[in-house]
């Protein structure tokens, strides 16, 4: 039982990283993206291939995975960020499906539907972790959760965050204030993709295997649910959203009644959560935190010489 709870919190951590990345795109910048699972898949498979075929270590593979995912973030970002609202969402949805299909059919590299097995665990302090070392994994993954939280906080509290907020409020006004909106939008998209790539890499190394069916559209929706449920534009709320969503989807197994609950129930559950939230609490459980940039800047510059 303890083992199972540890397992759940490992997954919560991995999803929280990807969901905070998505929150940067959707919550802070106001772009609806439905392909976070695609970036996770790219991260997971990059790590899988680098570690099995090229016998690279985990930590190098993870960094490379993050960058490859963000590279795809740029590639999809440039043509699609001209699109607005619904059109952008549909384009990202298509991208996620393309990624999944490429992985499914590029047998020579991805081993197709079989997936890649036998991914070694990361080595740390001279020992190699396996999926069994759950306490160590919990620590590693939640360090990444904390780092992601801090990283996003740093971005949001800076002038970059101010620009993202302005773009979300009114993109046309922002561009006529001299803000290069395309640059910031692609930046947010790429950073979100990078974080999903890192999450995917952790996912692959923890499970020591990857399979294409994992990274389906439902996963993108689940990650979106986490960000929406907690409250868009609030990284802490996103973590809370990840806790709730993963717990809710594992509840049948936790209560030992998984054999009588069909697995499709999850999908119904996510759909229901999205619908109910949109009707009754569109701002999410916790809601957005509005920063006061004038105060932040005043504090920040208080130690500068006159």
For residue 118, give the 3-state DSSP assignment.
coil
User: Does 158 engage in binding with other proteins (CB under 8 A)?
Assistant: yes
Q: Please give the Cα distance from 260 to 98 (Å, whole number).
A: 34
Chain residues 278-297 in contact with other proteins, contact rule CB under 8 A? 290, 292-294, 297
Contact region with other proteins (CB under 8 A), list: 132-140, 144-152, 172-180, 209-217: 172-180
For the CB of residue 179, give the shortest distance to other proteins in the complex, in Å. 6
- The phi-psi region of residue 104 (left if phi > 0; otherwise alpha if psi is between -120 and 50; otherwise beta) is alpha
Which residues have a Cβ under 8 Å from the Cβ of 31 and sit 6 or more positions away? 25, 81, 88, 185, 188, 189
For the CB of residue 27, give the shortest distance to other proteins in the complex, in Å. 14
For the CB of residue 32, give the shortest distance to other proteins in the complex, in Å. 18
For the CB of residue 148, give the shortest distance to other proteins in the complex, in Å. 16
Chain residues 1-40 in contact with other proteins, contact rule CB under 8 A? none
Q: Give yes or no for a contact between 217 and 96, defined as CB atoms under 8 angstroms apart.
A: yes
For the CB of residue 198, give the shortest distance to other proteins in the complex, in Å. 18
Contact region with other proteins (CB under 8 A), list: 9-17, 50-58, 178-186, 262-270: 178-186
Q: Please give the Cα distance from 213 to 42 (Å, whole number).
A: 13
User: Does 170 engage in binding with other proteins (CB under 8 A)?
Assistant: yes
For the CB of residue 289, give the shortest distance to other proteins in the complex, in Å. 12
Closest CA to 57 of 118, 111, 120, 134: 120
Q: Please give the Cα distance from 71 to 172 (Å, whole number).
A: 27
The nearer residue to other proteins, 179 or 286, going by C-beta atoms, is 179
The nearer residue to other proteins, 255 or 304, going by C-beta atoms, is 304
* Helices within the chain (DSSP H only): 2-23, 36-52, 58-80, 85-105, 107-110, 134-157, 159-169, 171-175, 181-207, 217-230, 235-254, 265-280, 293-301
The nearer residue to other proteins, 263 or 305, going by C-beta atoms, is 305
Q: For other proteins, how many residues bind (rule: CB under 8 A)?
A: 28
The nearer residue to other proteins, 130 or 283, going by C-beta atoms, is 283
Identified binder of other proteins from the candidate list 75, 143, 146, 177, rule CB under 8 A: 177
Q: Please give the Cα distance from 78 to 75 (Å, whole number).
A: 6
- The phi-psi region of residue 267 (left if phi > 0; otherwise alpha if psi is between -120 and 50; otherwise beta) is alpha
Residues that bind other proteins (CB under 8 A): 158-160, 162-163, 165-166, 169-170, 172-181, 290, 292-294, 297-298, 300-301, 304
């Amino acid at each position: 039982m303890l083992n199972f709870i540890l397992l759940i919190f490992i997954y919560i951590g991995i999803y929280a990283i990807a969901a905070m990345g998505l929150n940067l795109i959707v919550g802070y910048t106001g772009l609806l993206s439905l392909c976070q699972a695609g970036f996770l898949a790219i991260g997971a498979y990059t790590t899988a291939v680098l570690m099995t075929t090229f016998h690279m270590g985990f930590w190098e593979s993870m960094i490379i995975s993050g960058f490859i995912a963000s590279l795809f973030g740029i590639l999809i970002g440039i043509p699609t960020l001209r699109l607005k609202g619904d059109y952008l969402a549909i384009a990202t949805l298509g991208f996620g499906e393309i990624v999944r299909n490429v992985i499914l059919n590029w047998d020579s590299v991805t081993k197709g539907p079989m997936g890649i097995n036998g991914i070694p665990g990361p080595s740390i302090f001279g020992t190699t972790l396996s999926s069994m070392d759950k306490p160590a994994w919990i620590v590693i993954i939640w360090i990444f959760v904390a780092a992601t939280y801090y990283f996003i906080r740093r971005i949001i509290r800076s002038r970059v965050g101010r620009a993202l907020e302005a773009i979300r409020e009114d993109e046309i006004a922002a561009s006529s204030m001299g803000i290069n909106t395309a640059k910031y939008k692609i930046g947010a998209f790429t950073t979100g993709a990078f974080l999903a790539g890192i999450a995917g890499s952790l996912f692959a190394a923890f499970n020591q295997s990857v399979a294409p069916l994992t990274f389906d559209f439902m996963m993108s929706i689940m990650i979106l649910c986490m960000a929406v449920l907690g409250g868009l534009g609030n990284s802490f709320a996103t973590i809370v959203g990840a806790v709730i969503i993963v717990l809710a989807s594992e509840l049948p197994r936790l209560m030992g009644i998984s054999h009588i609950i069909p697995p499709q129930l999850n999908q119904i559950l996510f759909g229901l959560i999205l619908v109910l939230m949109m009707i009754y609490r569109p701002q999410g459980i916790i809601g957005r935190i509005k920063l006061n940039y004038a105060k932040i800047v005043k504090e920040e510059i208080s130690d500068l010489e006159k």
